C-alpha cells in the first residue's frame, strides 16, 4: 500500500510574472518571503493606503516601486498580477479595482464577504478575460492533491464522513481585524473557510446544510459547527475563535480512512488506514506558510498558458463555497 505521487508541479518551474502587492499586512509579508524562497516570481511593486507603510514594506522586502494608494499600484504598467491581501471585507472592491486596470488577480481567502460579491468578481474576471484565483492555498498543496487522488481513485471506497476543524484562540486584543464584521471578521470567514473548502473538495456542493453557532460581543460569529450533507455523505466542520482546537481533518470511506495531521490546511503529514494496514506520508519539502507560493505559481502558469479559469480552484467553486458559508451564517442568525 503506497500513497500516489503528488501531481502538483514544482513552483520553481512556473514562468515569472511581475507581481504587485496590494495591502502590505501580515500575510503579504509571508507571501513575498514564500515567493522569493521557492519561485521565479518577481515582486515589483507594493501599494498601501499610506505612503509610509508602502515605503517601509518596500524597504524591508527590497521591492523597487511603492505607492501610497492602491489605484497607483494597479495602474503601474510594470505590474502584471496583483495579490490582494487586504481584509476580507475589502476583497470585492480591491479585486474589481485590479481587474478594471487589466491585471490578473490572486485574492486572499475568504474570496469575498458573500456569494453576491463573489459572483460579481467572477463575472468581472470572465468579462475581462483575466485570471482571478482565490488564494485558498490548501487546495494547491501537494498533500491535499494526494488526498484528492485517494478519493477519486476509490482507494477509500465510498466516502461516508469528512471531518475538518480549525479553531484558534483569537481575542479582540490579539486579533482586532477578526472582531470587525465590516472587515469580514469572524470564525467562519477567517478560519472556518478552510474546513468548508476541504469538505467542498471531497464532496462538492452540499444538498443540505445544518449549522449552529454563537456570536462574540463584537458581533462576529465566534464559534460554529455545521453538517454539510451531500447525498449520503456527511462533512462535519467546526471552527471557533475561542479555543485552540486540533485543526486536523479526515476522510473516511467504506474501504479506508486518510487522516491529515495538524495543521491540516498547511503542508502536513498524512496517515492512510485500510484493511491492508497503515502507512504514513511525511511532510513535503516546502513547509509552513511557504506553501503560499503554490497558488502564485499556479496563477503564473495559467497566464503563461492563456487560461483564464483555474482547473484546481475554478471561480464557480469559490462562488459555491461562499454560498455554503452564506447558508451557514443565515442559520446562525436564527439561533
Enzyme catalytic residues: 109
Closest C-alpha among 171, 158, 239, 266 to residue 202? 158
Query: CB of 191: closest distance to ligand NAP in angstroms?
Result: 9
Q: How far is the CB of 198 from ligand NAP (least distance, A)?
A: 14
| 71 is a contact residue toward ligand NAP (CB under 6 A) | no
DSSP 8-class letter at 242: B
Q: Which of these ranges, 48-56, 213-221, 226-234, 311-319, lies near ligand NAP under the rule CB under 6 A?
A: 48-56
Is 152 near ligand NAP (CB under 6 A)? no
Binders of ligand NAP among residues 23 to 42 (CB under 6 A) are: 23-27
Q: What's the rounded Cα separation, in Å, for the pair 221 and 239? A: 10
User: Does position 48 bind ligand NAP by CB under 6 A?
Assistant: yes
Q: How far is the CB of 67 from ligand NAP (least distance, A)?
A: 10
Nearest distance, CB of residue 182 and ligand NAP, angstroms:
8
Burial tier of 207 (Cβ tally within 10 Å: 0-12, 13-18, 19+): exposed
Give helix 115-128 / helix 91-100 axis angle, nearest 10°.
10
* Interacting residue with ligand NAP among 81, 104, 105, 108 (CB under 6 A): 108
The SS3 assignment for 316 reads helix
In sign, the C-alpha dihedral spanning 111, 113, 119, 125 is negative
Q: Does 90 bind ligand NAP (CB under 6 A)?
A: yes
Spell out where 177-286 has E strands.
208-215, 221-230, 233-240, 249-253, 256-260, 270-274, 277-281
**Segment interacting with ligand NAP, rule: CB under 6 A, options 8-16, 17-25, 275-283, 317-325:** 17-25
Residues 6+ apart with CB under 8 A from 231: 207
Residue 84 or 202: the one with the smaller Cβ distance to ligand NAP is 84
Does 138 help bind ligand NAP (rule: CB under 6 A)?
A: no
- Is there binding between residue 318 and ligand NAP (CB under 6 A)? no
Query: CB of 264 within 8 A of CB of 213?
Result: no
247 forms part of the interface with ligand NAP (CB under 6 A): no
**Alpha-carbon span 273 to 146, nearest angstrom:** 14
Count of positions (residues) in the chain: 335
Q: Which residues bind ligand NAP (CB under 6 A)?
A: 23-27, 48-50, 53, 85-88, 90, 108-109, 135, 137, 177, 183, 190, 289
Amino acid at each position: 500500500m503506497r500513497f500516489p505521487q503528488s501531481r502538483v508541479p514544482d513552483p520553481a518551474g512556473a514562468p515569472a510574472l511581475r507581481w504587485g502587492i496590494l495591502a502590505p499586512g501580515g500575510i503579504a509579508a509571508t507571501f513575498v518571503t514564500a515567493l522569493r524562497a521557492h519561485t521565479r516570481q518577481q515582486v515589483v511593486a507594493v501599494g498601501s493606503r499610506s505612503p509610509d507603510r508602502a515605503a517601509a514594506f518596500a524597504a524591508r522586502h527590497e521591492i523597487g516601486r511603492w505607492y501610497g494608494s492602491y489605484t497607483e499600484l494597479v495602474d503601474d504598467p510594470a505590474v502584471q498580477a496583483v495579490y490582494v491581501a487586504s481584509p476580507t471585507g475589502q476583497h470585492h472592491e480591491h479585486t474589481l479595482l485590479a481587474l478594471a486596470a487589466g491585471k490578473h488577480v490572486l485574492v486572499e481567502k475568504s474570496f469575498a464577504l458573500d456569494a453576491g460579491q463573489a459572483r460579481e468578481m467572477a463575472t468581472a474576471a470572465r468579462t475581462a478575460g483575466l485570471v482571478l484565483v482565490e488564494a485558498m492555498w490548501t487546495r494547491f498543496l501537494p498533500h491535499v492533491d494526494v488526498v484528492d487522488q485517494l478519493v477519486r481513485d476509490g482507494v477509500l471506497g465510498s466516502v461516508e464522513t469528512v471531518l475538518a476543524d480549525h479553531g484558534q484562540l483569537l481575542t479582540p486584543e490579539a486579533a482586532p481585524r477578526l472582531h470587525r464584521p465590516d472587515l469580514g471578521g469572524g470564525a467562519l470567514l477567517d478560519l472556518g473557510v478552510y474546513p468548508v473548502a476541504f469538505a467542498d473538495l471531497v464532496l462538492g456542493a452540499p444538498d443540505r446544510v445544518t449549522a449552529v453557532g454563537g456570536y462574540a460581543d463584537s458581533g462576529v460569529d465566534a464559534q460554529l459547527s455545521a453538517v454539510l450533507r451531500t447525498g449520503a455523505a456527511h462533512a462535519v466542520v467546526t471552527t471557533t475563535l475561542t479555543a485552540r482546537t486540533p485543526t486536523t481533518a479526515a476522510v473516511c470511506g467504506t474501504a479506508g480512512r486518510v487522516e491529515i495531521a495538524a495543521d491540516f490546511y498547511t503542508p502536513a503529514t498524512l496517515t492512510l488506514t485500510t484493511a491492508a494496514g497503515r502507512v504514513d506520508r511525511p511532510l513535503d519539502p516546502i513547509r509552513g506558510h511557504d506553501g503560499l507560493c503554490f497558488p502564485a505559481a499556479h496563477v503564473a502558469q495559467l497566464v503563461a498558458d492563456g487560461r483564464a479559469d483555474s482547473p484546481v480552484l475554478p471561480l464557480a467553486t469559490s462562488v459555491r463555497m461562499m454560498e455554503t458559508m452564506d447558508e451557514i451564517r443565515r442559520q446562525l442568525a436564527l439561533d
